[in-house]
Each structure stands twice: as C-alpha cells, then as structure tokens.
Structure 1
Amino acid sequence: ESRLEYANLLLADFDPRVDWILSQPFLLEGEDKGTRRRHIPDYLIVHADHTVCVVDVKPAAKLTIPKVRDSLSWSRRVIEPHGWEYRVQSEPDEVLLRNVQFLAGYRRSFQFAGGDVTAALGELRSPMAFGEAVRAIVPVTGG
C-alpha cells in the first residue's frame, strides 16, 4: 500500500487547489456498534479555499472486504459531521500517474537556464495539452 499512497500523494502534490498535505494526521478512536475502532487516516489535505479533505488509500481489491468497508464507513461517519470531506482513493489512472511522475523529475531549478522558467510561465497562463505547452515555450526559451 505504501506505493499506492505515494502515487496518490504525488497527484495531490501536483493539484493546484492543494495548499497543504499532512501524512497520518491523527488517530481516530471510538466505539462503532459495539466494536472498538482505531484508525489513522493516510492524509489530511487543506485546499486553497480552506476546505479540508481526509484521505484513506486502499487498493481497489480490498474495498470489497467487509472488515475494510466497515472501517472506512466508520471513518466517514466520524469525519464528515465535522464539515470535512472524506475520500477513499485507490489506484490512479496509469497514464496520468506516469505523466506526473515524469514532470516531477523536472521540479529542480538547477536543471534550467536562468530566466527560462520565468519566460515559460509567461506563456503558460491557462491549462493546455503538453504538446501545446512545448510548442508555446520552445520559441521563448530557445529549447
């Protein structure tokens, strides 16, 4: 599950709506229909609009196991009344993940000539396909 958690964390880190991410943010503990439960969610995400989302990451295959479903349902019942979103994430889209992993390798400023990033950002003011972005910045950066 740690690779699955990493994949979902990487995607959240690239989401422009996300301001802050905390791993294993707190311990949920309490009674649920006569069962004592303890659970630590995987992530707490605070968005730019100050909304909060608690995330649990589970492989899709485990979501059919009654014990897992019951635990996640209990977490939802505890978290949502506080006005926070609760989300269960599984395997992300493979193409999206591979693209984000590729782009993550280029987040270090030492990999670019001075001024190129600033010039490129001046051209990339709205969402666009990767190929469009490359065509837009090549004349600006000389790449």
Structure 2
Amino acid sequence: MSATNFRVRYRLTDAPITFEGELTDLSRIDVQALDLARPIKNYRGQTHVGGWYYFVKAKRHLRFESGLERLRLMLLDYDPDITLVAPQPFQLLFHQEGRALSHVPDLLIVRPGRVRLVEDVKPLKFVDRPANVLAFAATRQACERAGLEYSVWSEPPAVVAHNIRYLAGYRRVPQHLDEYAPVLLDLARDTILLGTLASLAGPNHWVRPVLYHLVWTHRLTLDLTRPLSNRSEVSPGSRYRGKT
C-alpha cells in the first residue's frame, strides 16, 4: 500500500529549532547548513560504532553511524561527480494504513548538473527486512514525487573496499606534491606498473604518498577492482594535466 501525507523535518546548524516542510525544500537548501536530523549515539554493547570522517572536498568533518557509512563517505569523497554530502539529513514523516511513521535516510548527496540523491546505506543482509522494505519504499515514493533520486547502497566487493580505505589515507595534499607530481605524471603518460613508476620518480617514502594522492584526485588511475600492488597498472586519469 502506498504511503501518503509526506512531510519532512530537518535542522540547520545555526538554528536551535526544527523545521518542517515539503521534501522539495531539500532540492534548494544549502546542504552544508543541514544538521543531523537525529543524534548519532555510541553506547556500550552496540554492534556498530559511529565517528567522524574528514570529507576533503568540503573541507569539513561529517558524522557516520557505522563502518559501512564511513566506507560510503570515502567512496563519495573519491567520486569526481560528487561535491557535497549531508549525513542524517532529514526525517521523512508519512502515513501508511492509518499509522503515522517516519524514517531518517542516511545521506543527501549533491551532484552538479543532476538532481540530488537521497540514499540509505544498509548491509545487504538487512535490506530485505520488512521494516526496511517499508521505509525504503516510502522514501523512494516521496523522492519520486519531489523530483529527487533515491537509492539503497550496500557493501561493494571486498577488494574495492580495501583499496578505497587505503587510498583515502592519501586524500589530503601530501608533502612534496609540487616536486614529484610533474615527474609522476610525465612518466605515466603511457600505462606503467605502479612499482616501476614509483622507483623511477624518486625516493619511495616521498613518492608513494604523492602517487596515491594523484590517484585519489583522478590525475592518475588504476583498477580498484583488483588488489593494489606493485604490479598494478597506472594510467593517466580523467583529470590528467601533464606536467602541471
């Protein structure tokens, strides 16, 4: 049965009150001004632990509620088509079969040139639970009416997760970027093995952080679906700019 009477509640970081309005409000609102719609708590005995992730694109820390949400934030931070993300952005209120219900999606994602994306992050083994099926269906219905997109995201292949966690350690600008980035980019004009590239560019302890940062910023690219090693093939990325 379809849900009805959709409303949203959200909070702003500079306002002590809760706002209530239409879901279409979220197409216009400053995503960086959104506060958590509900608190993220850590307590003894819980099976998942929240924390803070530094989202380098926005130059700010974002809350996450679980390790899977942290991984999702890393992947969104790495994705060149994503600019801003708000965690726990709003509470969706709706009625179904005479009951007043609510759901707080995990993320609101800004993609320039496209409509905003509302997303729930849920382990695959929990996606089909009845309560989740109901909440996801209602949220999808509300988003379709409001001209937003909606998706449910679950864990990627283990090798992708391992690689993105590793590369995320190099998302901040490293020392000696200006010195070694031109060398690495020049050497990687054609596909080259990662180990060979690093050994030709300079001292390993300075070159590796720069190399991985160039991969993170898409000036170089490698296949994240395969284990990262010295045998990984490195090629010019989508934002390759030669020696500059």
Please classify the TM superposition score into its range, dividing by the shorter chain length: 0.7 to 0.9
TM-score normalised over the length of structure 2 = 0.50
Check whether the contact 1:124–1:133 (CA below 8 A) recurs between aligned residues.
no
The reply on whether 1:47 has 2:107 as its aligned counterpart is no
- Number of corresponding residues: 139
Q: Cα distance 1:39–1:125, how it changes in 2: closer, same or farther (>3 A)?
A: farther
Q: Distance in 1 between matches of 2:162 and 2:180?
A: 24
Q: Which amino acid aligns with 1:37?
A: L
Larger RCO: 1 or 2 (CA < 8 Å, sep 6+): 1
RMSD: 2.6
The reply on whether 1:15 has 2:79 as its aligned counterpart is yes
The reply on whether 1:142 has 2:202 as its aligned counterpart is yes
Between structures 1 and 2, the one with greater helix share? 1
Matches within 5 A, 1:19-30: 19-30=83-94
Q: Cα distance 1:138–1:81, how it changes in 2: closer, same or farther (>3 A)?
A: farther
C-alpha deviation, 1:38, in angstroms: 1.2
Structure 1: runs of 5+ lacking an equivalent: none
Q: Which amino acid aligns with 2:77?
A: D
Q: Which amino acid aligns with 2:138?
A: W
C-alpha deviation, 1:91, in angstroms: 1.6
Q: Distance in 1 between matches of 2:94 and 2:193?
A: 52
**Which entry has the higher C-alpha Rg, 1 or 2?**
2
Deviates further, 56-65 or 115-124: 115-124
C-alpha deviation, 1:75, in angstroms: 0.7
Q: Distance in 2 between matches of 1:82 and 1:88?
A: 18
User: 1:95-138 CA deviation, whole Å, 9 max, x = no partner?
Assistant: 11100111111223344454223543566689x7xx64564565
The reply on whether 1:86 has 2:150 as its aligned counterpart is yes
Check whether the contact 1:7–1:92 (CA below 8 A) recurs between aligned residues.
no
The reply on whether 1:71 has 2:135 as its aligned counterpart is yes
Task: Give the % identical residues.
Answer: 33
